[in-house]
Amino acid sequence: MTSPDGNRPHRIIRSFVRREGRITSGQQRALQDLWPRYGLEADAPLNMESIFGRKAPCTLEIGFGNGDALATMAEQQPECDFIGIEVHRPGVGRLLQQLERRNLNNVRVMREDAVDILKGCIPDNSLDRVLLFFPDPWHKKRHHKRRLVQADFIELLAGKIRHGGCFHMATDWEDYAMHMLEMMEQSPAFRNRAGTGKFSLRPDYRPVTKFEQRGQRLGHGVWDLLFERV
């Protein structure tokens, strides 16, 4: 389809595909009953102090999957507040169940595209940490343009993370790890905490997921990258 001026409309390239997957009755109940307590709508800028009722360091996790790692981090770091973004409803429902079961009040959840949320909802200089654990690597070369960590995204993040804050990435795809390392080291807004060209050791706060443990048993590597906002 073309626009009235004869040009093709710009197509937004997403870093994800919405795959609904199987949702359990418990997850569906959580989406209905617990969303008013934990959910945030992407319709206005967020006031973190108002949302959580306190002033505390704030972490944003992009693509939390089934929510296991996010719930664990929130439980182990009660002094911090967390916002989790995930577009897949089964994962959102599972996390909501965990938040209720663990009685956690320092987590809120959003279900829209992370780029849209960062642009429209996250105030500048409001995040202490951004987490991107095991994103879709889009390993086929023709799909590399879908990878989230690109120059425009890094520039967007730079405006949202406070000076001294951290962007923490982890992947089990070496090619994507090298891509992220290269892209991040091109940005003057960030400094590699491990040193130029190096990867970081896994910090204690990042839980080792079942997915990661299975990969390790199969001999897969995992690469962590920690970049500080300067």
H/E/C letters for each residue in the chain? CCCCCCCCCCCCCCCCCCCCCCCCHHHHHHHHHCHHHHECCCCCCCCHHHHHCCCCCEEEEECCCCCHHHHHHHHHCCCCEEEEECCCHHHHHHHHHHHHHHCCCCEEEECCCHHHHHHHCCCCCCEEEEEEECCCCCCCHHHHHHCCCCHHHHHHHHHHEEEEEEEEEEECCHHHHHHHHHHHHCCCCEEECCCCCCCECCCCCCCCCHHHHHHHHCCCCCEEEEEEEC
Identify whether 213 is part of a domain: yes
Is the pTM value of this prediction over 0.85? yes
Q: Give the neighbor-by-neighbor strand order of the sheet with 161-171.
A: 107-110, 81-85, 58-62, 127-133, 161-171, 223-229, 190-192
For residue 194, give its domain range.
25-41+50-229
- The total domain count for the chain is 1
Question: The tokens of 152 are what?
Answer: 């425009």
Residue 121 within a domain? yes
Question: Quick one: pLDDT at residue 140?
Answer: 52
Q: How far apart are CA 87 and CA 134, in angstroms?
A: 15
Instruction: Confirm whether 164 is domain-assigned.
Output: yes
64 within domain boundaries: yes
Of 128, 136, 172, 224, the active-site residue reads: 136
Judge whether 88 lies within some domain: yes
Rounded alpha-carbon distances, angstroms, from residue 39 to 21, 42, 61, 89, 103: 21, 10, 14, 12, 15
In the residue annotation, 43 being an active-site residue is answered as: no
> Is residue 13 in a domain?
no
Judge contact between 57 and 74, C-beta under 8 A: no
Alpha carbons 193 and 136: distance in angstroms, whole number: 24
β-sheet bridge partners, residue 120: none
pLDDT score recorded for residue 16: 44
> Alpha-carbon Rg of the chain, whole angstroms?
18
CATH number of the domain within which 115 lies: 3.40.50.150
Per-residue pLDDT of the chain (230 residues; tens, 9 = 90+): 445 555 554 445 444 444 567 899 999 999 999 999 999 999 999 999 999 999 999 999 999 999 999 999 999 999 999 999 999 999 999 999 999 999 999 999 999 999 999 999 999 999 999 999 999 885 556 545 769 999 999 999 999 999 999 999 999 999 999 999 999 999 999 999 999 999 999 999 999 977 788 778 888 899 999 999 99
Domain-embedded: residue 6: no
Residue 218 has what pLDDT?
80
> What does the pLDDT read at residue 212?
81
Residue 81 lies in a domain: yes
What does the block give as tokens for 103?
């009685």
